[in-house]
């Protein structure tokens, strides 16, 4: 049976490489964490893709849909979505496959897909998946921009244990 | 060795020749402060301390200098008459003083003279320095002369213990073996590795391991140093705390408060540990991020549902249109008169075949000869029936409308997610609960902190109620709490560093093991056997050394407790314990502590108990020396019991009297002024058991401002 | 002293645990120990004898002696 979710999961989404330093390295241990950041466990994300997911939801809830500029250098985690969270080796952390489903369902909700045409075989699966991944990247990009601006305004706020949670709470 | 006599001539306050004839056992010299006790001690120290070049001029009795007229000269000397191996040895340190015309003073350099008198009374001049070291070895002197109470704590310095061990225990002999065997083992390992290097194909791996081993060794010793430093710092701080606590009047109250603070700290820590603020982790792990997901899920669900419905409708329409085509075909085969045909297969195949064979339609009971219309009808019906039994072929391949079925799994997902709606809705209350929980823990934490602060304030008050001078006190109060925190923190980091040390050791030994394994595959068998044998011998030598050391400590501990039980003036029921400090480095430190009868440490023993402990340890040491068939040596104490008070002191002295070692004690107790303001020895002293007693006092009248009037008189009591 | 040292070394549990020397079979003096067939026992004895007879022996000289001994007798 044809399965869009499985195809989606095998993809590696990109992000704007500019935010690697501006956001990822500031709010996650991605890119080699310093001891200082490591000490702030709980306040920060341990991996880059956790922050990616977070930024996606932030963009989704705030409806911040921003296409990554054509010229921008793109970057990714070199790990397909299906392996996000599964291979952390940390016993305390949970498996992310359910989270992947929710992300996928949200993307389905937000992406224009002519299911009839798809079922009839009039459009290719690849095209649909590409579209879904594009949506994923755009919402995440929107979330990352929002985070970047917040960080630049008040970096100290991010020291608060509940700040990233608060941002989600306030996002609707 | 026994000191028979000390003769002091024109030395400081001792004008002319003053003699102290001592006996075995307990000798007591009484005297008020400033009347000559300490000068007696100084005189002996000057004699013994030959390496120290004194400023002779400062040692001359001013009275002697005044009394001497013209260009006369006189001698300043301290003479020790000792009995050693049944011989009498006289050791004198002396110099001559001459007064010049202009009243200025000139001295010769002091020299050490020795005379040995055999049993038969023959006297020989001997090398003074050499014989001093024979009768009273320098390393023994260290544990023989004690000035003041604080000097009694000889084990405070790490070096003292190794000295002691060199003197009294067998461990010294083992040291040499441990270091020699280590060299042999290292050499044997080197031989194996060199040999391996030539032979092995695994050269690269082997060499890389060798490098790793060096690094691991470095790392291990770094951690070791860190641990040592940590230990030292902690010990220093603990000493400071102890020192501070000594001045505290109400030690028990302080102890209780410290206990309460400990408990409160522990409760606070437990409480704080419950505060979980990893909200960010919960966002993903506990799906908190889905708090606003319900509308999005609904959107998804609606979209899928709508698409599914649309698809079904299309399918139906398609089916209908497909049905029409089919219907047309069926229509073409319709019966005449529009009558509806019998269902296919009625009558059944066997009946039909039979009817055709018999050429009779048994349904309507008429003849149907072959070739007739009726016969043909029956034959058609049979054909139709047989065709119906074959699987129905697709009428046309391209007549399927949906090639794919992506929606099915999406529908499943949507249905599954419907059950998660409750989960989405429960996130916000869950977060609230967590916040509330953490908030009340934080409030608890604040409450605990308030209690702790209150206790600390109380502790500061107790510290304030102390016998310390105001300046020192402020300093102590300021630092006391910090010291306590430092100790707790240091202990915490110690645990971590000790763990690191263990890890580093394990990593090192696993690397060594790996290297040796490779080595064994290629190195010469003899070299491996040799190395393994030497490794075992090293283990044996080193552990035996350790065992001997422990045995010595145990002996020292037992002996000390035996003596403490005798001289214990405060009826203390606990005991002295020797705690070996971690011995990662070569010198092993030990802590000597008092524990109560239930085994818990005695937090702040008073000075007199501590002094009793130190004296017990000292006697134990001198006792062990006797046990090693070494000479016994005298112990000379200046004011060892100043914290005791008179009655405790007399008890203490009576207990000391039971011990046969020669002891010379200088005390300020038992001297009083009578009604005429004259100094006198109290009656209580009559009750003190002793072998000899002297009283040193200044010849009266004297003028404190004029040193030339100062002359200490010595009288035997 | 030599015998005392030797005996304290031979008291080590490794001799029984690893080298299977029974306590009753252990020599109690240097002379017997040097004649022992057990390589650990005679090596220890040899080291004790060497160090006790020349307490200033250098590490290198001792190494030579031990190697010689092991070459000739034990291994």
* Tens-place pLDDT, residues B540-592: 988 888 888 888 888 888 988 888 887 765 666 778 888 776 554 455 667 77
pLDDT digits (tens, 9 = 90+) for B676-685: 878 888 888 8
B210-224, B296-310, B520-534 — most confident range: B296-310
Instruction: Tell me if chain C has a CB within 8 Å of the CB of B520.
Output: no
Which one of B170, B187, B536 has the shortest CB-CB distance to C18?
A: B536
- CB–CB contact A2 B409 (8 Å): yes
pLDDT score recorded for residue A33:
46
A113-117, C40-44, C66-70 — most confident range: A113-117
Q: Is the pLDDT of residue B337 over 60?
A: no
Closest Cα in chain B, distance from residue C10 (Å): 8
pLDDT digits (tens, 9 = 90+) for B618-660: 778 777 765 555 567 888 888 887 777 777 788 778 877 877 7
> Residue B78, Cβ neighbours under 10 Å: how many?
24
3-state secondary structure of B102: coil
Q: Is the pLDDT of residue B324 over 90?
A: no
Cα–Cα distances in angstroms (integers) from residue B50 to residues A90, B45, B46, B177, C64, in the given order: 70, 9, 7, 34, 44
**For the ranges A90-94, B361-365, B694-698, which has the lowest average pLDDT?**
A90-94
Q: What is the CA radius of gyration of chain C?
A: 12
Q: State what percent of residues in chain B have pLDDT above 90.
A: 17
- CB–CB contact B177 C5 (8 Å): yes
Taking the C-alpha atoms of residue B322 and residue B396, their distance in angstroms, rounded to an integer, is 10
Q: How far is CA B659 from the centre of its chain?
A: 38
| Cβ atoms of A78 and A108 closer than 8 Å | no
Q: Is it true that the peptide bond before B259 is cis, omega within 30 degrees of 0?
A: no
Contacts of B406 in chain A (CB under 8 A): 2-4, 115, 118-119, 125
Taking the C-alpha atoms of residue B63 and residue B71, their distance in angstroms, rounded to an integer, is 16
pLDDT score recorded for residue B687:
85
Over residues B471-486, the mean pLDDT reads 71
- CB–CB contact B537 C12 (8 Å): no
Which one of A54, A110, A115 has the shortest CB-CB distance to B283?
A: A54
**DSSP states of B578-606:** EEE---SSSSPPEEEEEE-TTS-B-SS--
| Distinct helix (H) and strand (E) counts, chain C | 5, 0
Q: Is the pLDDT of residue A37 over 50?
A: no
pLDDT digits (tens, 9 = 90+) for B371-396: 888 888 888 877 877 776 665 555 55
Q: Is the pLDDT of residue A42 over 50?
A: no
pTM: 0.48
Place of tokens 């959107």: B299
pLDDT score recorded for residue B604:
62
Give the containing element (helix H, strand E) for B112.
strand B111-117
Query: In the structure, what pLDDT confidence band is assigned to residue B104 with cuts at 50, 70 and 90?
Result: confident
3-state secondary structure of B699: coil
- CB–CB contact B284 A164 (8 Å): no
Taking the C-alpha atoms of residue B106 and residue B94, their distance in angstroms, rounded to an integer, is 14
Over residues A85-106, the mean pLDDT reads 74
Query: In the structure, what pLDDT confidence band is assigned to residue A39 with cuts at 50, 70 and 90?
Result: very low
pLDDT score recorded for residue A67:
95
Closest Cα in chain A, distance from residue B411 (Å): 11
Over residues B307-327, the mean pLDDT reads 86
Those of residues 165-224 in B touching chain C at CB distance below 8 A are: 170, 173-174, 176-177, 180-181, 183-184, 187
Taking the C-alpha atoms of residue B2 and residue A163, their distance in angstroms, rounded to an integer, is 81
Annotated domain spans of chain B: 2-136+633-716, 248-465
pLDDT score recorded for residue A83:
84
Nearest residue in B to C4, CA atom: B170
pLDDT score recorded for residue B406:
92
Contacts of A109 in chain B (CB under 8 A): 296-297, 299-300, 303
Q: How many residues does chain A have?
A: 172
| Cβ atoms of B704 and B678 closer than 8 Å | no
Over residues B328-337, the mean pLDDT reads 59
Which of B48, B236, B50 lies closest to B157 in space, CA to CA? B236
User: Which two three-digit tokens encode residue B556?
Assistant: 């020292």
Taking the C-alpha atoms of residue C22 and residue C35, their distance in angstroms, rounded to an integer, is 16
In total, the C-beta contacts within 8 angstroms joining chain B to chain C are 62
Q: How many residues does chain B have?
A: 717
For B397-401, which contacts have Cβ atoms below 8 Å and span 24 or more sequence positions? B399/B322, B401/A120, B401/B314, B401/B315, B401/B318
Q: Is the pLDDT of residue B338 over 70?
A: no
pLDDT score recorded for residue A127:
93
Mean pLDDT value across chain B: 81
Strands B14-21 and B2-11: antiparallel
Q: Which chains touch A (3 or more CB pairs under 8 A)?
A: B
| Residue B275 phi, psi dihedral angles, 5° rounding | -75, 115
Which of A64, A46, A71 lies closest to A141 in space, CA to CA? A64
Taking the C-alpha atoms of residue B501 and residue B510, their distance in angstroms, rounded to an integer, is 14
Strands B123-127 and B111-117: antiparallel
**For the ranges B23-27, B123-127, B202-206, which has the lowest average pLDDT?**
B202-206
Contacts of B177 in chain C (CB under 8 A): 5, 9, 47-48, 51
Q: Is the pLDDT of residue A36 over 60?
A: no
Which of B395, B396, B410 lies closest to B311 in space, CA to CA? B410
pLDDT score recorded for residue B626:
58
**More confidently predicted of B245 and B453:** B453
Instruction: Tell me if chain A has a CB within 8 Å of the CB of B287.
Output: yes
Taking the C-alpha atoms of residue B292 and residue B423, their distance in angstroms, rounded to an integer, is 11
| All residues at 6 or more sequence positions from B275 whose CB lies less than 8 Å from its CB, including other chains | B438, B441, B442, B445
Q: Is it true that the peptide bond before B347 is cis, omega within 30 degrees of 0?
A: yes
Q: Is the pLDDT of residue A35 over 50?
A: no
Which of C9, B360, A37 lies closest to B352 in space, CA to CA? B360
Do A and C touch (≥3 CB pairs < 8 Å)? no
Q: Is the pLDDT of residue B171 over 70?
A: no
Taking the C-alpha atoms of residue B242 and residue B258, their distance in angstroms, rounded to an integer, is 13
pLDDT score recorded for residue A117:
93
| All residues at 6 or more sequence positions from B168 whose CB lies less than 8 Å from its CB, including other chains | B552, B621, B624, B625, B628, B630
Over residues B527-536, the mean pLDDT reads 86
pLDDT score recorded for residue B342:
55
CATH of span B2-136+633-716: 3.40.50.300
pLDDT score recorded for residue B563:
82
B34: left (phi over 0), alpha (psi -120 to 50) or beta: left
- CB–CB contact B280 A44 (8 Å): yes
Query: In the structure, what pLDDT confidence band is assigned to residue A142 with cuts at 50, 70 and 90?
Result: very high
Taking the C-alpha atoms of residue A14 and residue A29, their distance in angstroms, rounded to an integer, is 18
- CB–CB contact B417 A105 (8 Å): yes
Those of residues 541-570 in B touching chain C at CB distance below 8 A are: 541, 543-544, 547-548
- CB–CB contact B293 A43 (8 Å): no
- CB–CB contact B303 A57 (8 Å): no
Strands B14-21 and B26-30: unpaired
Instruction: Tell me if chain A has a CB within 8 Å of the CB of B400.
Output: no
The upper half-sphere exposure of residue A139, i.e. CA atoms within 13 Å in the direction of its Cβ, equals: 26
pLDDT digits (tens, 9 = 90+) for B6-32: 999 999 899 999 999 999 889 999 998
């Amino acid at each position: 049976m044809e399965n869009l979710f499985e195809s989606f999961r095998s993809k590696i989404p990109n992000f704007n490489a500019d935010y690697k330093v501006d956001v990822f390295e500031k709010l996650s241990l991605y890119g080699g964490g310093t001891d200082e950041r490591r000490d702030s466990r709980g306040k920060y994300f341990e991996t880059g893709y956790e922050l990616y997911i977070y930024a996606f939801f932030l963009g989704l809830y705030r409806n911040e849909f921003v296409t990554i500029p054509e010229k921008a250098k793109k970057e990714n985690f070199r790990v397909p979505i299906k392996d996000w969270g599964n291979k952390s080796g940390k016993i305390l952390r949970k498996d992310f496959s359910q989270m992947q489903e929710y992300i996928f369902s949200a993307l389905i909700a937000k992406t224009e897909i002519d299911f009839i045409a798809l079922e009839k075989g009039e459009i290719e699966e690849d095209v649909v998946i590409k579209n879904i991944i594009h949506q994923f990247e755009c919402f995440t990009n929107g979330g990352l921009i929002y985070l970047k601006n917040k960080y630049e305004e008040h970096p100290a706020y991010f020291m608060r244990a509940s700040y990233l949670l608060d941002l989600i709470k306030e996002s609707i | 060795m026994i000191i028979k006599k000390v003769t002091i001539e024109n030395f400081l306050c001792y004008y002319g020749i003053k003699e102290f004839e001592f006996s075995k056992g307990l000798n007591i010299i009484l005297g008020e402060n400033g009347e000559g006790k300490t000068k007696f001690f100084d005189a002996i120290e000057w004699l013994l301390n030959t390496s120290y070049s004194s400023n002779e001029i400062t040692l001359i009795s001013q009275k002697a200098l005044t009394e001497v007229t013209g260009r006369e000269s006189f001698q300043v000397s301290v003479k020790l008459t000792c009995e050693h191996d049944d011989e009498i040895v006289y050791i004198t340190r002396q110099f001559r003083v001459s007064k010049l015309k202009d009243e200025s003073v000139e001295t010769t350099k002091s020299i050490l003279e020795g005379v040995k008198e055999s049993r038969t009374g023959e006297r020989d001049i001997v090398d003074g320095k050499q014989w001093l070291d024979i009768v009273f070895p320098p390393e023994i002197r260290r544990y023989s002369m004690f000035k003041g109470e604080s000097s009694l704590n000889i084990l405070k310095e790490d070096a003292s213990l190794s000295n002691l061990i060199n003197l009294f225990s067998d461990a010294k002999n083992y040291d040499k073996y441990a270091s020699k065997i280590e060299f042999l083992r290292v050499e044997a390992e080197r031989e194996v590795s060199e040999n391996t290097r030539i032979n092995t194909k695994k050269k690269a791996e082997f060499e890389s391991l060798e490098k790793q081993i060096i690094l691991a060794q470095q790392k291990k010793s770094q951690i070791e140093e860190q641990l040592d430093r940590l230990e030292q710092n902690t010990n220093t701080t603990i000493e400071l705390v102890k020192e501070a606590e000594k001045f505290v009047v109400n030690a028990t109250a302080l102890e209780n408060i410290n206990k309460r603070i400990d408990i409160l700290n522990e409760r606070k820590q437990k409480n704080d540990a419950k505060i979980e603020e990893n909200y960010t982790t919960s966002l993903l792990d506990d799906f908190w991020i889905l708090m606003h997901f319900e509308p999005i899920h609904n959107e998804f669900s609606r979209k899928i549902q709508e698409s599914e419905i649309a698809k079904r409708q299309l399918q139906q329409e398609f089916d209908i249109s497909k049905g029409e085509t089919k219907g047309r075909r069926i229509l073409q085969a319709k019966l005449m008169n529009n009558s509806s045909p019998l269902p296919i297969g009625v009558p059944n195949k066997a009946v039909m075949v039979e009817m055709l064979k018999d050429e009779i339609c048994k349904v309507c009971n008429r003849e149907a000869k072959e070739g007739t219309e009726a016969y043909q009808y029956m034959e058609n019906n049979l054909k139709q029936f047989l065709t119906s039994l074959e699987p129905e072929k697709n009428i046309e391949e391209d007549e399927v409308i949906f090639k794919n079925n992506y929606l099915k799994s999406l529908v499943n997902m949507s249905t599954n997610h419907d059950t998660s709606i409750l989960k989405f809705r429960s996130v916000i209350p869950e977060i609230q609960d967590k916040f509330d929980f953490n908030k009340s823990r934080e409030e608890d934490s604040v409450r605990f902190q308030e209690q702790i602060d209150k206790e600390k304030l109380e502790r500061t008050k107790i510290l304030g109620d102390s016998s310390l001078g105001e300046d020192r006190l402020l300093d102590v109060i300021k630092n006391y709490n910090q010291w306590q925190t430092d100790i707790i923190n240091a202990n915490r980091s110690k645990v971590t560093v000790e763990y690191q040390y263990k890890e580093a050791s394990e990593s090192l030994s696993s690397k060594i093991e790996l290297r040796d394994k490779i080595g064994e595959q290629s190195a010469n068998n003899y070299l491996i056997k040799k190395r393994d044998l030497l490794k075992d011998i090293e283990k044996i030598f080193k552990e035996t050394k350790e065992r001997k050391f422990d045995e010595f400590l145990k002996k020292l501990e037992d002996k000390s407790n035996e003596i403490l039980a005798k001289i214990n003036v405060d009826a203390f029921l606990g005991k002295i314990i020797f705690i070996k400090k971690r011995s990662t480095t070569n010198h092993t430190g030990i802590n000597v502590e008092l524990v109560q009868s239930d085994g818990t440490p005695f937090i702040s023993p008073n000075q007199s108990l501590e002094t009793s402990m130190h004296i017990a340890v000292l006697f134990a040491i001198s006792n062990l020396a006797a046990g090693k068939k070494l000479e016994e040596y005298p112990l000379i104490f200046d004011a060892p019991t100043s914290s005791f008070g008179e009655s405790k002191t007399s008890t203490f002295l009576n207990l000391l009297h039971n011990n046969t070692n020669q002891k010379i004690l200088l005390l300020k107790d038992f001297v009083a002024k009578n009604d005429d303001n004259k100094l006198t020895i109290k009656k209580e002293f009559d009750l003190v058991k002793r072998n000899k007693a002297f009283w040193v006092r200044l010849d009266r009248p004297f003028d404190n401002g004029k040193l030339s009037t100062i002359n200490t008189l010595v009288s035997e009591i | 002293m030599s015998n005392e040292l030797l005996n304290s070394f031979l008291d080590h549990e490794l001799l029984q645990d690893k080298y299977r020397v029974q306590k009753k079979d252990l020599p109690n003096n240097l002379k017997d120990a040097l004649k022992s067939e057990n390589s650990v026992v005679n090596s220890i004895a040899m080291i004790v004898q060497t160090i006790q007879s020349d307490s200033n022996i250098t590490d290198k000289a001792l190494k030579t002696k031990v190697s010689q001994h092991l070459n000739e007798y034990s291994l």
